[in-house]
Structure 1
Amino acid sequence: MLSSDHAGAVFFDVDGTLVPRTSSSVFLAGFLGHRDELAEAEAGYASGVLDNRRVSELDAAGWAGAAAHQVHGWLDGLPLVSGISETVAWCWSNGLVPVLATLAWSPVGGYLTDRFGFHAFSGPRLETAGGRFTGHVARHFDEYDKRDFALAQARELGLAPLSCGAVGDSRSDLPLFASVGVAVAFNASEHARTAATAVVDDDDLRGVLPHLSRLVTATR
Structure 2
Amino acid sequence: MFSSDHVGAVFFDVDGTLVPGTSSSVFLAGFLGHRDELAEAEAAYACGALDNRQVSELDAAGWAGTPEERVNGWLDGLPLVTGIAETVAWCRRNELLPVLATLAWSPVGGHLADRFGFHAFCGPRLETADGRFTGRVARHFDEHDKRDFARAQARESGLSLRSCAAVGDSRSDLPLFASVGLSVAFNGSAGARAAATATVDDDDLRSVLPVLGRLVTAARR
What's the TM-score once normalised by structure 1's chain length? 0.99
In the alignment, the residues of structure 2 paired with residue 130 and residue 13 of structure 1 have an alpha-carbon distance, to the nearest angstrom, of 31
In the alignment, the residues of structure 1 paired with residue 78 and residue 67 of structure 2 have an alpha-carbon distance, to the nearest angstrom, of 18
Matched residues, percent identical?
A: 81
Unaligned runs of 5+ in 1: none
Equivalent position amino acid for 1:101 in 2: A
Q: Are 1:93 and 2:93 matched, yes or no?
A: yes
In the alignment, the residues of structure 2 paired with residue 56 and residue 201 of structure 1 have an alpha-carbon distance, to the nearest angstrom, of 28
Deviation at 1:38, TM superposition (A): 0.2
Task: Report the counterpart of residue 118 of structure 1 in structure 2.
Answer: 118
Deviation at 1:2, TM superposition (A): 5.4
Superposed CA RMSD: 0.9
Unaligned runs of 5+ in 2: none
Superposition map of 1:1-220 within 5 A? 3-220=3-220
Equivalent position amino acid for 1:115 in 2: R
What's the CA shift string for 1:6-45, capped at 9, x where partnerless? 1100000000000000000000000000000000000000
In the alignment, the residues of structure 1 paired with residue 74 and residue 202 of structure 2 have an alpha-carbon distance, to the nearest angstrom, of 26
SS of corresponding position for 1:135? strand
In the alignment, the residues of structure 1 paired with residue 186 and residue 3 of structure 2 have an alpha-carbon distance, to the nearest angstrom, of 29
In the alignment, the residues of structure 2 paired with residue 162 and residue 189 of structure 1 have an alpha-carbon distance, to the nearest angstrom, of 23
In the alignment, the residues of structure 1 paired with residue 112 and residue 129 of structure 2 have an alpha-carbon distance, to the nearest angstrom, of 24
Deviation at 1:3, TM superposition (A): 3.2
Equivalent position amino acid for 2:12 in 1: F
Asked if 1 retains the 8 angstrom alpha-carbon contact of 2:105 and 2:125, the reply is yes
SS of corresponding position for 1:218? helix
In the alignment, the residues of structure 2 paired with residue 105 and residue 170 of structure 1 have an alpha-carbon distance, to the nearest angstrom, of 17
In the alignment, the residues of structure 1 paired with residue 55 and residue 147 of structure 2 have an alpha-carbon distance, to the nearest angstrom, of 19
In the alignment, the residues of structure 1 paired with residue 3 and residue 51 of structure 2 have an alpha-carbon distance, to the nearest angstrom, of 38
SS of corresponding position for 2:219? coil
What's the CA shift string for 1:43-78, capped at 9, x where partnerless? 000010000000000000000000000000000000
Asked if 1 retains the 8 angstrom alpha-carbon contact of 2:3 and 2:157, the reply is no
In the alignment, the residues of structure 1 paired with residue 213 and residue 29 of structure 2 have an alpha-carbon distance, to the nearest angstrom, of 37
SS of corresponding position for 2:128? strand
In the alignment, the residues of structure 1 paired with residue 22 and residue 219 of structure 2 have an alpha-carbon distance, to the nearest angstrom, of 36
SS of corresponding position for 1:180? coil
Asked if 1 retains the 8 angstrom alpha-carbon contact of 2:67 and 2:133, the reply is yes
In the alignment, the residues of structure 2 paired with residue 14 and residue 120 of structure 1 have an alpha-carbon distance, to the nearest angstrom, of 13
Asked if 1 retains the 8 angstrom alpha-carbon contact of 2:2 and 2:156, the reply is no
